[in-house]
Chains A and B, each alone.
Chain A
Amino acid sequence: MPSDPLVAQHVLEFPGGYTRTTGPVIGRFLSELRARRIVGARTAEGRVLVPPLEYDPATGEPVTGEYVEVGPAGTITTWAWVDEPLPGHPLDHPFAWALIKLDGADTALLHAVAADDPKALSAGSRVWPVWRDRPTGHITDLSHFVPEVTKIVSNVRAEYRLQAGGALRVFLEGVARGILLGSRCARCEKVYVPLRLACPECGSDLPDTLELPDTGTITTFAINNLPDPRAPEVPFVSAYILLDGADIPMIALIGDVPAHEVRQGMRVRAVWVPENERTASMANIRWFAPTGEPDVELT
């Protein structure tokens, strides 16, 4: 829009600012602020006015001369949210103007409250003052108020060096070569995969290591609709697969088939990553995919 020659800017500002005498009561209040204390004046009726006045506004009687330290925390009685602060506002990001009844006071003080969003505040919210670095004896010595601390973030981090030892090492070295190793219990003859050293059922050694085929039967499964970094998409199927010759199922991802076409009893085979991408890890098996054989009847 072209500038209108009949519109002009005009600033009215007394050079250096007005000098304003405080009188004894406000002067005491501001002096206390400079010392990072907030005080109110007691009225003849015993009420505590904050900020203090020289007189009781209800009766016109002078206040008693007794100063009472209040706060520093208080409770919001009512508030208005400021989405777009103006120049001269105490904060340059969204904040609330609030009436704050400081602990021990009978009247509320108007001040700014910083909060992340209006939902963080309500009538009854507890707030605490944030003091300006260099107090000068001005209401802005109280920079603003902030909500009471009700929560802290506690970072807990434990870093481990995990070493695949014993049975797991042997199993994963097999997986690196594209072979699934199991072991058979000397006493109950159950075949466990992954290979392990002791039978969970009877505690006996599992002395016989054997190679298991990478084919098996889905005994049961879940269709997961929650994303997981280990699954390529949602939904994904995690299935119990009883490898041929094993007595305990492994849990693995099912692929190359829509989730809702997976069946209990379905025959599947491991889909291995190319040989040059293999490591000593179960990531070598991308997933298990249907073989196309007829389903196995489960008992």
Chain B
Amino acid sequence: MGNRCAVIGVGQTYYTTKRRDVSIAGLVREAALRALEDAGLTFKDIDAVVIGKAPDLFEGVMMPEAYLADALGAAGKPMMRVHTAGSVGGSTALVGASLIQGGVHERVLVVAFEKQSESNATWALSTHLPFSASLVVGAGGYFAPHIREYMRRTGAPGHIGTLVAVKDRLNALKNPYAHLKIPGIDQKMVESTPMLWEPIRYLETCPSSDGACAIVLSSESAATGTPAWVHGAAMRSEPIFRAARDTVSPQAGKDCAADVYRQAGIADPRRQIDVAEVYVPFSWYEPMWLENLGFAAEGEGWKLTEAGATALDGDTPWNASGGVLSSNPIGASGLIRFAEAALQVRGMAGEHQVDGARTALGHAYGGGAQFFAMWIVGREKP
């Protein structure tokens, strides 16, 4: 795994539907400056900048990293951009970490963003190329059939998705940065919202958000403040069109989890991980990922959700921050998971802090559930 790497700063913008008051550069600077402030550093202390975001078609700015380099203090420094669709925020953190772990740099600034209000993600994801017969309408249209298949295989009762939709939004009420704040949300409210892509209801989907997240990574010798230490880091991908591909529990996700657990010495994730920030953009992906990530046996994930095990006061809290279901600046969503995991083990998660969290999982997935990025961070050095 190479040299030790720590998260020493985290910065987020307040996530919202439309940040009308800032440019894209202003948005990313807001997160970056907060992360630097958290670390007690300035741009001068940074050796390299890694930028992540989802497809350029979302904002219609080609290669925005080129234009953002100087906004992020990267003049005269190495700068690169990462793109792995929805998992990009996680992948960006891992590319940044690899620069520390490989001994290339002492301090790396990692920034990811999306300003969804500049266009419309469903449009950008449904470009209808000629000759194609694909009838997929947006991300929900893509994932709905796989959720239906999960329900068929496991016999999970239909209300499980609504439990996650409520639980994550209740957590969001404790997170000042969260986008969706729905006081009084309950199962009945979720059930009363229309089916968009059956079996996905409106309130079982993530919002469209503007926002940016940034972290400062450092080597052991350059660490400042309260570090969260990286105990494991892994990425995997798999072809979206592959015969016998399991779209409900993709092999790449299982392999990625096995790899990151091996590095961190985790044999029983449900017992050994104190809090998990997992990419759940549609409510049913919580039970699905509970199985894919080995927190539950195959077919049993929904039972953990139903029993409240993943609630903030459960034995294995998932998405204490409110998760992607509550804030979704797509390109940043994965990095927010990774950053929230770090905040938890640093004891800096505020009202949604899981008491005594020492080990946390950050997870992101992207594309047609074909790209995976995960890390395990801990309070102690590995």
Which A residues contact B (CB, under 8 angstroms)?
150-151, 154, 156, 162, 164, 168, 172, 188, 190-192, 200-201, 219-226, 228, 230-231, 235-236, 238-240, 247-248, 250-253, 264, 281-282, 285, 298
Contact = CB atoms under 8 A, between A and B. Distances in A.
B146 interface: yes
Contacts of B200: 222
Contacts of B128: 230
Contact of B141 (A224, A250, A264): A224
A154 B115 CA distance: 14
B4 interface: no
What band does the interface of chain B fall in when counting residues whose beta carbon is under 8 Å from A? 35 or more
A43 B170 CA distance: 57
Given A225-B194, A226-B137, A164 B152 contact: no
A223 B244 contact: no
Given A231-B135, A238-B141, A222 B243 contact: no
A127 B94 CA distance: 45
A220 B194 contact: no
B198 A240 contact: no
A190 B239 CA distance: 15
A191 B243 contact: yes
B131 A225 contact: no
Contacts of B245: 248
Contacts of B140: 222
Interface of B: 20-21, 60, 122, 128-138, 140-141, 144-146, 148-149, 152, 194-198, 200, 239, 241-245
B121 to A, nearest CB: 13
B137 A264 contact: no
Contact of A222 (B131, B133, B145): B145
A220 B146 contact: yes
A156 B133 contact: no
B148 A251 contact: no
Given A150-B21, A190-B243, A239-B145, 18 more contacts: A162-B129, A168-B131, A188-B243, A192-B241, A200-B239, A219-B149, A220-B152, A222-B141, A223-B195, A223-B198, A224-B135, A226-B141, A247-B244, A248-B242, A248-B245, A251-B136, A252-B133, A298-B152
Contacts of B244: 190, 201, 247
Contacts of A251: 133-136
B25 to A, nearest CB: 14
A282 B131 CA distance: 7
B117 to A, nearest CB: 10
Nearest to B57: A156
Contacts of A285: 133
B149 A222 contact: no
Contacts of B149: 219-220, 264
B197 A156 contact: no
A167 B122 CA distance: 29
A253 B137 CA distance: 12
Contact of A220 (B148, B196, B239): B148
Contact of B242 (A201, A231, A239): A201
A150 B21 CA distance: 7
A223 B197 contact: yes
Nearest to B198: A223
Given A220-B149, A239-B145, A248 B133 contact: no
The winner among A150, A223, A247 for most chain B CB atoms within 10 A is A223
Contact of A151 (B20, B60, B198, B242): B20
Contacts of B134: 251
